[in-house]
Amino acid sequence: MHQTPCWQAGSSNLLILSSEVHLWQLPLNQPHYQLAILEALLSPDEITRADHFAFPHLRAYYVASRGMLRQILGAYTNTTPTELTLVYTEHGKPYLPHSGICFNLSHSHELALLAITDGRAVGVDIEYLRPISDAEAVARQFFSAHEVEALLKISVPLQMRAFFNCWTRKEAYIKALGEGVSHSLQSFDVNLNPAEPACFLAFREDPRELRHWKILSLDIGSDYVCALVAERHDWQVRLFDINTSI
């Protein structure tokens, strides 16, 4: 069971409350004229990264996601998108120095999600649903024993969605921590049954983490699975679509 989304329009001057997490839907398959506008917003470093992609459509998706990221962050900080300076942590997570705005970006196939908060650690992960031939082997490598057992009990028609439920929920938490792959995916448990709301089940290293993090799973269409994680439980999510904003 997922929260049903109701995407709304934003504005060119965005305000986020401390009790909110804003989640933006960013379609990556943009027309050529729009890509040119977005590419003009990128830094020289981002252009270099874009040029490293071997396939044109992957380059276009990167340009679209980074350009829209700059547009949205500029609207929250009242800054021209080209003047934004993004700095990277030792684990490669970008952030805005000297700003209370925290954000996390995830993309898969033709869609990206951008989570924004005011001073609250946040992580988001999205995955395009596709067959994984060795899903059980992947689960045994990265999921906890409890999660593997739960996955194998799910009926076959729902098993792939359950797999990606687990994957996105774990990745969103890791991204919220900002520690990358240095944090073990097997050190905590999430639920994965598509019929149940997303939740954390256990943190073996520090059980107090259960009270510190809130997780949501949103229904963004039959082709995608996503999860949103942020610090503490005193927040609500607001959903925005860039196609009707900025």
Contacts 24+ apart (CB under 8 A), 155-162: 158/194, 159/135, 160/129, 160/131, 160/132, 160/135, 161/129, 161/194, 161/225, 162/192, 162/193, 162/194
Mean pLDDT value across residues 37-53: 98
CB 196 within 8 A of CB 161: no
Check if 20-121+234-244 and 126-231 are the same fold.
Answer: yes
**Mean pLDDT rounded to a whole number for the chain:** 93
**Per-residue pLDDT for 12 more than 80?**
no
Mean pLDDT value across residues 59-88: 97
Domain spans of the chain?
20-121+234-244, 126-231
Summarised one tens digit per residue, pLDDT across range 79-113 is: 999 999 999 998 888 999 999 999 999 999 999 99
Question: Yes or no: is domain 20-121+234-244 CATH 3.90.470.20?
Answer: yes
Q: Please give the class, per CATH, of domain 126-231.
A: alpha beta
